[in-house]
Amino acid sequence: MQIISAPTEMQAFADDARRTGPTIAFIPTMGFLHEGHLSLVREGCRHGDDIVVSIFVNPAQFGPGEDLDTYPRALEADCEKAAAAGATVVFAPSREDLYGDAYQTYVTLEKLPQHLCGLSRPVFFRGVATVVTKLFNIVKPHVAVFGEKDYQQLLVVRRMVQDLNFNIRIIGGSIVREADGLAMSSRNSYLSPDERRRALCLFQSLQKAEEMVRSGVREAEALIQTARDIISRHPDADIDYIEIFDPETIDNLKRIEGPARMALAVKIGKTRLIDNILLTP
């Protein structure tokens, strides 16, 4: 597996691949790879010949007071894990490589960020759309894989790809969970053992909603209220949002008449966690 850090070298590699034929599958990450990321790499292997994993903690998607400085980093271990999962290239640029001193260009979407995570993290989707655009221009993939755990991010990327005419197929990878149901996330490493136990309330509330839908409940508010009750049993769980929405448009739903997504963001202590589930009546 090659490790490339210079954008120009990555571009030359991509140009060469595009000239000679291999399909490039791309998995963008911020590193500290876990089984969730690795499942995306394996998904990429099903769609491409050159499997490029980027590792870059993107400062543009962190707001003031967020965890940019403490975000976990483990480049060497990440390279080993990526290679074992089938990556053929790790692209790991530096901050200066992607955002020099005079940097001033950003990509913004008008509507999708005005929901869910975008409300409490106002610069997040601008940062994601900007860095993903830059990475697409550097890696030049045919296919890119994004996890469904960041469901709103997946929608943002799909919209952006359509709006900006990127000729890239976007694939959503399923959420990977720990044995007890906690959605895998690099930020789980922030949790103390006690918080780790309490963090399960996110998945438990989604599971309960799924169960209620299966038993015939259709009112979104009843599902949201039950989830709220489950989470509020934990005094240090601070709910940012719990919402049920149309999986394509992200518009809130009052009743579940077809497939719907239920998503939530909850702070357990200082750690903000997200999770979601597909509800099908």
Among 13, 26, 28, 53, binds ligand PAF (CB under 6 A): 28
Total residues at the site for ligand PAF (CB under 6 A)? Answer: 10
Among 7, 25, 29, 38, binds ligand PAF (CB under 6 A): 29
Our finding on whether 188 is near ligand PAF (CB under 6 A) is no
Our finding on whether 61 is near ligand PAF (CB under 6 A) is yes
The rounded distance, in Å, linking the Cα atoms of 165 and 245 is: 26
Looking only at the bridges linking them, the beta strands covering 271-279 and 260-268 are antiparallel
Stretch that binds ligand PAF, among 83-91, 111-119, 126-134, 168-176 (CB under 6 A): 126-134
Question: Is 1 within 8 Å of 83 (Cβ atoms)?
Answer: yes
Q: Which of 228, 242, 234 is nearest to 196 (CA)?
A: 234
Our finding on whether 113 is near ligand PAF (CB under 6 A) is no
Upper half-sphere CA count for residue 216 (Cβ side, 13 Å): 0
User: Three-state DSSP class for 19?
Assistant: helix
The rounded distance, in Å, linking the Cα atoms of 121 and 113 is: 9
> Which residue, 128 or 206, has its beta carbon nearer to ligand PAF?
128
Among 30, 237, 250, 268, binds ligand PAF (CB under 6 A): 30
Our finding on whether 78 is near ligand PAF (CB under 6 A) is no
Among 25, 112, 128, 160, binds ligand PAF (CB under 6 A): 128
Active site residue 47: no
> Which residue, 131 or 223, has its beta carbon nearer to ligand PAF?
131
Residues forming beta bridges with residue 167, ordered by sequence position: none
Our finding on whether 92 is near ligand PAF (CB under 6 A) is no
Tell me the CA distances in angstroms from 115 to 5, 83, 128, 137, 230, one per residue in order: 34, 36, 15, 27, 23
| Interface contacts to ligand PAF, rule CB under 6 A | 28-30, 58, 61, 128, 131-132, 150, 153
